[in-house]
A and B are shown apart, each in its own frame.
Chain A
Amino acid sequence: AQSVAQPEDQVNVAEGNPLTVKCTYSVSGNPYLFWYVQYPNRGLQFLLKYITGDNLVKGSYGFEAEFNKSQTSFHLKKPSALVSDSALYFCAVRDLNTNAGKSTFGDGTTLTVKP
């Protein structure tokens, strides 16, 4: 079984400050990890992924995420937050090892960036 936890329902940061949105996961095999963002009344948009390779992955809009195998974490980060980053963020794990392709999403974290 696979699972994802986003321990914070809400993250508030001031514009220009660094931001971190936390994610931990559980999966039986090699993890395939993703971050998605959802703006109001929109579908989810892919931000970045970790499949293999460097533990620090870079994605869209200046976001990056650090894969930590020992802590089973995949935290989303950005050095300098923008008001336009305010949205709902989802972490997801995909079990491609079993060829099933099922994605499991966290409950989401609402990021609010204040001017």
Chain B
Amino acid sequence: KAGVTQTPRYLIKTRGQQVTLSCSPISGHRSVSWYQQTPGQGLQFLFEYFSETQRNKGNFPGRFSGRQFSNSRSEMNVSTLELGDSALYLCASSGDRGYLGTYEQYFGPGTRLTVT
């Protein structure tokens, strides 16, 4: 079974631009979560989607948004990029309730975003 894939793997953007990151979960997984990982702040929860609905959102400004499609693929968008947005963005999928109830999350390799 294929793992979680994220595209692109690396991105370099300038301040003020916007960016869209993509995540394809493991087949059959309906829960997709996004995290920001930085050396200083660790792993910070951005949001989680389940069956195209946002179930929970972390403490990030409205510049950070996401969506999930009917095939469970998810995208994350960051508008008006700031230098502080430079980070590794990780996507994770899980089976969750209603599908095996496995609960653990499977992470993609991440997208390394650099804002200059």
Listed in ascending order, the chain A residues whose CB lies under 8 Å from chain B are: 32, 34, 36, 42-46, 49, 51, 90, 94, 96, 99-108
| Inter-subunit contact B50/A101 (CB<8 Å) | yes
In the complex, which of the residues B43, B48, B94, B105 contacts A100, with contact meaning CB atoms closer than 8 Å? B48
How many chain B residues touch the partner (CB < 8 A)? 25
| Inter-subunit contact B45/A101 (CB<8 Å) | no
| Inter-subunit contact B90/A43 (CB<8 Å) | yes
| Inter-subunit contact B97/A96 (CB<8 Å) | yes
| Inter-subunit contact B107/A45 (CB<8 Å) | yes
Nearest neighbor of B108 in chain A, beta-carbon distance: A43
13 more A-B residue pairs beyond the given contacts A43-B109, A44-B92, A90-B43, with a C-beta to C-beta distance below 8 A: A34-B105, A36-B105, A42-B109, A43-B90, A49-B104, A96-B96, A100-B48, A101-B33, A101-B48, A101-B50, A102-B48, A105-B45, A107-B42
Which 4 A-B pairs give the minimum distances between C-beta atoms? A43-B107, A105-B43, A100-B56, A44-B107
Most buried by B among A44, A49, A106: A44
Q: Which residues of B contact A102 (CB under 8 A)?
A: 33, 45, 48, 55-56, 58
Nearest CB of A to B106, in Å: 6
| Inter-subunit contact A34/B110 (CB<8 Å) | no
